[in-house]
Amino acid sequence: MRIRVSKFGGRAIRLALLTLALVSISIAPGPAIAQGLVESENRVMIEAIHIRFTEPGSDPAIDRRIEDKVRTTIAMFPRERFSREILDFAMSRARRIPELSDAAYDVTFGEAGGVVIDVALTHRAAASPEQVRLPRFPTLYDASGAYLKAKVEALGMYYANNDAWYGRPDAMLAGNPLVVGEPAGRGYDAWVESYLHVGLYGIAPINDTLFVYGGGSAISTFSKGQELFTDKTRSYGAVEDAYAGLITGRASEDGDRWVLNVSVGRQKFALGDGFLIVNTAANGENRAALQANARWAADFVGLVQFRYNNTKAELFRVDPDELPILDTKTVIAGINVETEWHLGLKTAFSYLEVPSSTFGYFLSDGTRLSRDGLRVYDVRARWQPRPTGVPGPFVAGELAVQNNRRFSMHAVAYQGELGYAFADRTWAPTLSYRFARFSGDDADTERYERWDPLLSGGNGEQWVQGINHFKVVQDSNLVTHRLQLRLRPRPKFELVPQAWVFRADSPLNLGGNQALSFLQSRDYGTELNITGKVFWSRHLYMHGHVAVTFPGQAIKHALGDSQSNWWSSMLFIRYAY
């Protein structure tokens, strides 16, 4: 599907306008329907949880006690990752509270990239008997404290590039093992992707305070067209989730609460906002669905998590589900401690180590080192003195240091973000600036200094830095400046324009893109993009983007006069139960 177009990518621009038009029609008034989040949003942070009664009772003190009971039952907290499965399980328990006839939730976009959960409670009339609740799909069983639900999720995506790889796939993909057939490149290329994800998830009581839970699912993926690495049509099916766990907890009369959660198996895992770990499974190649990111579950995650009030401690071991052709046998183990303080301050510390891996580090003298033995020390903090929905500033930062017990290594990465939420203004804009640096190797020193990105990534508002540019340069030997604006014309419709500046930390770039191994300039380039997201209904989610990336002097020197600006546009529609 290749058509030669003008230098400015006219056809890609027309597709970009179509994408924005399809997303923007959601501004028109629509029905007030409760909805949940689809799989991709299972990765975002919870910004706030609001609990209210549809109609307040006659005694405010009783209402507050019921709200506290529901909050304890839900046991989800701001700055944790949202999980629709966990929230559905918790809501099934909340609906069994004797004073309630119903408990439902709704989800909207937050002002800092997360989500806000709104829980609506309905009083049971004093004389009304308890209603018999019949399961309604996707709920299959909900009785005697046990809950079983089905998961059915389908996605269709259209993705297009104009002058992918800056019009030079021959140079930018030289030696890349993912290339099969003819990849996207000069001119206009497009492809379609889809997946179907089905599974069962459940929880059941062992006694009043101990519960067993688990989940299992399978996923089938499909790709057709001129993709970034290939023009081959592919389909693939495999197990996705397969995990089990135990969870227990108590709440004292004084309001103190603790929760212990232990789980093992194929499941997702993320640390913080994805600076170190979030992409625990790989997509593309024979698995298809490269851009849809259909798979997230690691081959194995062992997790012990303990929470006491506002403090959480975790022990984990992660074996990511890598592509067979690129499998480095990496295993990551670590600890993580997070604490929520007063006045909106949250701090965290993590320690990671890699007990085994074949992933290689390359030196300018031809020496090859290994990730095996890597150690990572990470501290991070976020301060947001005003609650979500109230105008105010926010500040976030993270610092990490890497060394290796087998050889001399000192790599650093850090980021700082400053923003302000104008929550009382039209479209509730949130403006922020972020600076980030991931060290590169210095050929004049004896120690190795290139940052290892491990499983960093997530989405374009986390650590996928640049919709197009991230495909060329990942989070290593990289300095970035990002200016971002969030606009919410409606609570369930969000626009996110971004402006990026990319620079190399070091002219030595061995371990990155082969065409950029030795840089004559530190200027990678710039990117402008805009993303639109819509919760159309409880089950339907739409997401699209338009991006253009301008090559800098480092790219121009490597590719010569034949390079071009890289345009891309994408639209997907996802339907999920």
What is d(CA 26, CA 274) in angstroms, rounded to the nearest whole number?
30
What is d(CA 305, CA 270) in angstroms, rounded to the nearest whole number?
13
Least confident of 140-144, 222-226, 273-277, 548-552: 140-144
Percentage of the chain beyond pLDDT 70 is: 91
β-strands 115-123, 46-53 pairing? parallel
The dihedral sign for the CA sequence 161, 166, 171, 176: negative
Mean pLDDT of 507-521: 95
* pLDDT, position 250: 86
Query: Could you report the per-residue pLDDT of 318-356, keeping only the tens digit for each?
Result: 999 999 999 999 999 999 999 999 888 999 999 999 999
Higher per-residue pLDDT: 93 or 317: 317
Confirm if 182 and 144 have CB atoms less than 8 A apart: no
Query: Could you report the per-residue pLDDT of 290-324, keeping only the tens digit for each?
Result: 999 999 999 999 999 999 999 999 999 999 999 99
Cis previous bond, 135, omega within 30: no
pLDDT at 13 over 90: no
What is d(CA 94, CA 432) in angstroms, rounded to the nearest whole number?
37
Higher per-residue pLDDT: 74 or 291: 291
Cβ-based neighbour number of residue 385 at 10 Å: 13
Mean pLDDT of 228-236: 96
Query: Could you report the per-residue pLDDT of 267-279, keeping only the tens digit for each?
Result: 999 999 999 999 9
Confidence bin at 397 (pLDDT 50/70/90): very high
Q: Which residues contact 344 (CB under 8 A, 6 or more apart)?
A: 383, 384, 385, 386, 387
pLDDT at 404 over 50: yes
* pLDDT, position 128: 55
Confidence bin at 90 (pLDDT 50/70/90): confident
Confidence bin at 262 (pLDDT 50/70/90): very high
Residue spans of alpha helices (H) in 112-229: 169-172
Cα→Cα distances 415→261, 341, 348, 410, Å: 31, 21, 14, 17
Helix (H) or strand (E) holding 94: helix 84-94
What is d(CA 163, CA 193) in angstroms, rounded to the nearest whole number?
20
Q: Which residues contact 120 (CB under 8 A, 6 or more apart)?
A: 52, 53, 54, 103, 104, 105, 106
User: In 292-391, at which residue ranges do the beta strands (DSSP E only) sit?
Assistant: 300-308, 311-319, 331-340, 345-356, 360-362, 368-370, 374-383
Least confident of 16-30, 346-360, 371-385: 16-30
The C-alpha angle 67, 73, 78, rounded to 5 degrees, equals 80
Q: Which residues contact 322 (CB under 8 A, 6 or more apart)?
A: 282, 328, 330
What is d(CA 295, CA 241) in angstroms, rounded to the nearest whole number?
9
Confirm if 279 and 458 have CB atoms less than 8 A apart: yes
Tokens of 270: 């993320």
Mean pLDDT of 53-81: 84
pLDDT at 5 over 70: no
Confidence bin at 227 (pLDDT 50/70/90): very high
pTM (two decimals): 0.86
Confidence bin at 425 (pLDDT 50/70/90): very high
Percentage of the chain beyond pLDDT 90 is: 68
Confidence bin at 35 (pLDDT 50/70/90): very low
Confirm if 280 and 332 have CB atoms less than 8 A apart: no
Higher per-residue pLDDT: 339 or 77: 339
| Chain mean pLDDT for the chain | 89
Confirm if 562 and 168 have CB atoms less than 8 A apart: yes
Task: Give, as one character, the DSSP assignment of residue 2.
Answer: -
**Per-residue b/e over 350-384, b at no fewer than 16 CB within 10 Å?**
bebebeebebebbeeeeeebbbbbbebebebebeb
Mean pLDDT of 449-470: 94
pLDDT at 368 over 60: yes
Q: Residue 217's closest CA among 149, 288, 286, 291?
A: 149
Q: Residue 513's closest CA among 174, 265, 17?
A: 174
What is d(CA 65, CA 72) in angstroms, rounded to the nearest whole number?
11
Task: Give, as one character, the DSSP assignment of residue 113.
Answer: S
Q: Tokens 């929520």 label which residue?
A: 340
Confirm if 184 and 283 have CB atoms less than 8 A apart: no
Find residue 313's DSSP bridge partners.
306, 337
What is d(CA 482, CA 71) in angstroms, rounded to the nearest whole number?
36
Q: Residue 116's closest CA among 61, 172, 76?
A: 76
Find residue 543's DSSP bridge partners.
533, 572
Cβ-based neighbour number of residue 223 at 10 Å: 27
Domains in the chain, ordered, with CATH?
A: 148-576 (2.40.160.100)
* pLDDT, position 111: 79
The dihedral sign for the CA sequence 135, 139, 141, 147: negative
Cα-Cα-Cα-Cα dihedral of 9, 14, 18, 19, to 10°? 10
Q: Residue 486's closest CA among 388, 565, 343, 570?
A: 388
Tokens of 575: 């339907």
Question: What is the DSSP track for 6-71?
Answer: -TT-HHHHHHHHHHHHHHHGGGS------B---GGGGGSBEEEEEEEESS--S-HHHHHHHHHHHH
Helix (H) or strand (E) holding 394: strand 392-404
Cβ-based neighbour number of residue 193 at 10 Å: 27
